[in-house]
Amino acid sequence: MKNTYLCPHCATVLNPSVKILLVARHHDRRGMILLSPQPGNFKYVCDRSLEEGLSHGDMVAFSCPVCTIDLTSVADHRFAELVLRSPGHDDRKVEFSRAYGTHATYLIEGQTAQVFGEDADGTDATNFFGA
């Protein structure tokens, strides 16, 4: 079962191989970041020059490497949003925390949310419905 992640703006496939490739920015620092395609797996690979300047809780801006549009969720600015396309499902929204060092991901399908990560508790997932 292959999970395909799409940019919500230009529909480019962001994981042509396995990992999801995004551009991450914090103030004037930019770098490429690779994310796991498995929701709940928070391992990532990031340009060290970007990561060195980050502290816990810093808000990182993620953008699409193709159309360059910021992926910050309109429903909740603390999150970034991707589209997840998988066999047997309608397209789902994936919302993941932009705060460096925090683990929170919501997988939104219709009016239900699957929650991943120990930092997700304090967030009301209903923000993401119908947005």
Residues that bind Zn ion (CB under 5 A): 7, 9-10, 12, 64, 66-67
CB of 56 to Zn ion, least distance (A): 28
Which tokens is 28 given?
């004037």
- Minimum CB separation of residue 122 from Zn ion in Å reads 30
Tokens of 90: 């309608």
CB of 32 to Zn ion, least distance (A): 15
How many alpha carbons lie under 13 Å from residue 44 in its C-beta half-sphere? 22
Comparing CB distances to Zn ion, the nearer of 8 and 117 is: 8
Residue with smaller CB distance to Zn ion, 52 or 91? 91
Minimum CB distance to Zn ion smaller for 5 or for 128: 5
Residue 68 CB, shortest distance to Zn ion, in Å, is 7
Distances (CA, A) of 105 to 27, 30, 91: 23, 22, 16
Instruction: Tell which residue, 48, 53, 14, has the closest CA to residue 31.
Output: 48
- Looking at beta carbons only, is 21 or 107 nearer to Zn ion? 21
Sign of the CA dihedral running 31, 34, 40, 43: negative
Among candidate residues 70, 49, 69, 68, the one with its CA nearest the CA of residue 60:
70
Give CA–CA dist 79/42, Å, rounded. Answer: 14
Smallest gap from residue 8 Cβ to Zn ion (A): 8
Q: Compare residues 16 and 57 and give the one whose CB is closer to Zn ion.
A: 16
